Amino acid sequence: MAQPSFEESCNVQWDEESPADAPGFVQIKLPADPATPHPDNLDATRPSTEYTSPPGKKAEGFPHHVPDWCNQKVLHRNTLPPRASFHVYDNAADALARDVSKSKTVSLNGTWKFKLAKSPFDTFGDLQDREFESRKWGSIKVPGMWQLQGYGKGPQYTNVNFPFPVDPPNIPFDDNETGCYLRNFEIPRSFRNQQIRLRFEGVDSSFHVFMNDKEVGYSQGSRNPSEFDITEFVEERGKNTLFVRVYQRCDGTYLEDQDQWWLSGIFRDVNLLAFPNIRIEDFQIQTHLDVAYTDAMLSVRVTLNTPSDVGISLYDAGGVPVVESRIVAYTTNTTSILIQNPQKWTADTPYLYQLILTTPDCAVEQRVGFRTVKVTRGVFCVNGKPVKIRGVNRHEHHPDSGRAVPYDFLRQDLLTMKRHNINAIRTSHYINDPRLYDLADELGLWILDECDLECHGFGEIDCNTLQKSSRSHAKDIEIEGNPARWVSDNPEWTEAYVDRARQAVVRDKNHPCIILWSLGNESFYGRNHQAMYDFIHAYDPTRPIHYEGDYWAQTADIYSRMYTSAEEIIRFVEEGQGDTWKPLVMCEYVHAMGTGPGAVKEYVDAFYKYPRLMGGFVWEWANHGLRTKTAKGEEYYGYGGDFGDDPNDGRFVLDGLCNSDHTPTSGLTEYKKTIEPVQVLGGNSKKVKIINRYDHTDLDHLKCTWTLVGDGFRKYGGLVEIPPGIQRSETAELEIEGLALSELPQGESYLEISFTLRHGTNWAPAGHEVAFGQIRLSPVAQKPQLLYLNQLTLKSPTAPKFQKISSQYLRISDTPGKNWIFNIVHGTLTSWTSNGNELLHTPPELTFYRAVTDNDRPTRFGQSWIGSRLHQTKTHVRSVTYSMNDEGVTIKVEARIAPPVLQWSVDAEITYTFNDAGVTIKVKGKPRGQCLPNTFARIGLEMGLKDIESASWFGRGPGEAYRDMKLSQKYGNYTLPISKLFTDPEYPQENGNRTDVRHVTFNVKKDKKASLKASFGTLEEASFSAMNYTTKDIDECQHPYELYTRKKDYTIVKLDWAHMGIGTGSCGPATLDEYVLKCEGFEYEILLE
């Protein structure tokens, strides 16, 4: 019996009298005879009608049936069974070429006609209406998101909350934007007399498909593919009209509450496919290595539409045949082939074979990597060797097109990862564009493939699942309600959960890069996760299964944690918590929000020390800012709330190792160093000890060189021989030849060891640096001192003299042409002229505060700084004394540095000594009083300098660094313009600090001789920053464009003797104790010259 369309079942009639903006503006009338319900291909059935009538009367009501997009019993209608992602070719030669243009695939991507309605009931009726009305429609790019192409209410960002009334499985009828897509196409001549399929790789959130005014089917599961057999719906000759109605929300949206923008539309590829009469419907490849991990059994399971001969050919990476076989297959057939000692696939050595399957009518292709994944006595292994995950979480994001990510942009993401030593991706929190897995197979990246599942918002409804105070304490978890009852532990939702597992595993099963399946993210834990696990384990027993919400791994094969401290995961393994035969992975850690993250090394050291710790995935790869403009045309990257979206979670969407354009931040640079595959453990001028941190390869592919580095000195030394065959976790000593102690420069010097690629790869050219180390050759000073301290105690005929020019000011001058003005009432150095050029704009002042970072703000440290008014402290002079002798002029300022309102202070003694060498400033401070801050953000001088164009320094560089994120910055001499010292984060905050600096010179534009040099002597961890923005400006602005309007015409310089670490307190551990700056007494000095 023919099935009525959605419109026919509701008998939609247009109300010509109603204005276009009237609520509903369509009339719904029930048919005289209720339509037969649509059968669903997953055995779901519609309920009869929502309304019943009294005996003898017919029901009247709206709607007649529960809409598919609001009916949890309907997941798909008329979709084909899930299958692996592959293209069909006419012959083996075309398949072997892997050229999609030669396949039986026609892309329907491009510009479609488009119109947006406020609700599904406001859309158009039959084809005649659509064809007529579409003349007035707009256009839209497919793939794409309609909110980013000028349609609808705009993007909305929430981390946890559902942005609509929560009433599962119901979705509001009147508030569900619906996109109407229309395009025409013709069937290629070569497709005739074959099965014609229409495949959507991703549609957010659900959709109905109509072909030539006939309803084809329905599907939901935004990030999962949907494929329809449209053979009976299309005309093989002439025009075909495809109409797709996409719903912003559906009942499946309750399972898609991921931490990202809410965006809608056809956002992945749409393809027209031809499958021949004798065709391969699906195939599954598994590789099984023997106990010695030498020989392999290649298992191929083929599903056909009809019995046929199937050819099986395996080629190596050079195209040389390895196996050629032919089998007689019935509908489904499995065959196993012994492959002797194949090359093994790993992330370090991604060797790919090519498998071609043929029938008399077609051929398909799949690359094969021989590898076996297994958990052995609590250790996660691939090919029998332990693997350490040095990974990232990656959302699909593009700053202009959202989740519709162009291939070149996607590829660049993975290339950047490889170049930064990243070896793994968690596809947070859904299966990705299928092309990502092809790239990961090629480049060598482990993949934790995650099902499209998150329902975090139910935790908000139940007042949070776990108490924050007890979430990370394994034995003390307390439940405040049971959010799992809504969907995760509700049997009404079991099929929806299992469907998402089925879609993910069936599509991606043949990729060697996938070493773990994940049941989803932040969806609590319930029976439906067990059902997902059972399906996956039965379908693919070759990979372990992950799910963080299963805290005690009742179901999952491994333990998983988020944002737990390194100390806690160490305790977990040392105390033998849980099932010791299961390893633990940090599925999210070192939250990379804003400036940071800090203290990554502590985690990585723990991963290497404890075999049960698998490693982790940094949250996350990139900021999700969307490129937009202000009313004045100022471009910036918008975050939650910038598009009028309410509710929203603000800038929490800016939490990546890359900027929103996916260029690396200093956080990614630091992560690259922390996870480098070769570590320098120590050494001297003759020998250097290293360790191999690769999982599956030696160091023979690397070249090593040494360079001697000192202040004003950098000399290339030569090659260093790496002993051949250094295996994973093995140490070795490198002999340094040609370095004579007589060559060491005076002062501080370092032996720099660099490891680069000996030959180019498919992800980086020869010479790309993968690791480095610097070994200090000069002794570390036992006590910090200024290099020029002795000079400042010598008598000099040209020593500065002072003159009191008023009751408030002293003039200090010397014969070389330097003059200073000191305000003895305010206790400040107000002027410094050299050769007639004024250097100072603002006097140096002792300060303790920095602009709050995202990692400071929510922590006890950031809260204490604001609560104690650290940002409002001012210097109040109590006394000033001054004297003059043959050595120069000394001014001593006794001051109380304190905030308003509160009673605490820092009692400070600041001594200025003016000498031929310049000005030495010595400070002593003692905090006292009530309500002191628990830490200082920094201890240093802040001043304004005029006409500065650049800074030159010796210390770590060239990038920003802090005491807990500085390992990636090498000791050396650097010069950068002031504009480049400011890293310009997408949300204004503290940035641009350079640490472990011995001296820095601020170069004046007009006169290089008038430049100002600051020397910290041998003090460790001294820092500086220089920018055109004040701390107050940075704190007050919420976007870069706001900050730009406050740009100063002078340079704000901070010279810090000590600076607090960064931590990961935005979502995770705050700054570790060893990196905090305690609120206690201090004594420092600096030389300005």
The residues that are catalytic are: 522, 588
Residue 200 pairs in a beta bridge with: 226, 270
Strands 678-683 and 687-692: antiparallel
* Rounded Cα gap, residues 355 and 315, in angstroms: 6
CB atoms within 10 A of CB 49: 16
* Rounded Cα gap, residues 257 and 460, in angstroms: 12
| Tokens coding 66 | 């529960």
Residue 718 pairs in a beta bridge with: 706
CA distances 178 to 114, 175, 247, 308, 489, Å, are 10, 9, 5, 44, 30
Residue 953 pairs in a beta bridge with: 974, 1000
Per-residue buried b or exposed e for 338-374, using 16+ beta carbons within 10 Å of the residue's own CB: ebeebebbbbbbbbbbbbbbbbebbbbbbbbbbbbbe
Q: Tokens 């609509």, residue?
A: 164
Edge-first strand order for the sheet with 296-304 is 280-289, 296-304, 332-339
Phi-psi label, residue 725: left if phi above 0, alpha if psi -120 to 50, beta otherwise: left
Secondary structure class of 809 (helix, strand, coil): strand
Q: Tokens 């965006």, residue?
A: 263
Q: Which of 17, 27, 22, 15 is nearest to 62 (CA)?
A: 27
Q: Give residues with Cβ within 8 angstroms of 167, minimum separation 6.
A: none
Cα dihedral 861, 862, 867, 868 in deg (nearest 10): 60
| Tokens coding 730 | 């093995």
Helix (H) or strand (E) holding 501: helix 494-508
DSSP 965: B
Q: Which of 528, 517, 516, 389 is nearest to 455 (CA)?
A: 528
Q: Which of 694, 740, 696, 690 is nearest to 715 (CA)?
A: 740
Q: Which of 226, 67, 246 is nearest to 152 (CA)?
A: 246
Q: Tokens 């705009």, residue?
A: 154
Contact criterion met (CB below 8 Å) for 655 and 620: yes
Q: Tokens 């000033």, residue?
A: 880
Residue 710 pairs in a beta bridge with: 713, 749
| Tokens coding 784 | 């910090």
Strands 613-618 and 389-393: parallel
Q: Give residues with Cβ within 8 angstroms of 528, minimum separation 6.
A: 487, 488, 489, 490, 491, 493, 494, 496, 497, 498
Contact criterion met (CB below 8 Å) for 263 and 203: no
Q: Which of 1061, 981, 994 is nearest to 1029 (CA)?
A: 981
* Rounded Cα gap, residues 186 and 270, in angstroms: 15
* Rounded Cα gap, residues 303 and 48, in angstroms: 37
CB atoms within 10 A of CB 954: 23
CB atoms within 10 A of CB 491: 10
| Tokens coding 382 | 């691939």
Q: Tokens 């299963």, residue?
A: 550
* Rounded Cα gap, residues 260 and 836, in angstroms: 57
DSSP 902: S
* Rounded Cα gap, residues 358 and 96, in angstroms: 11
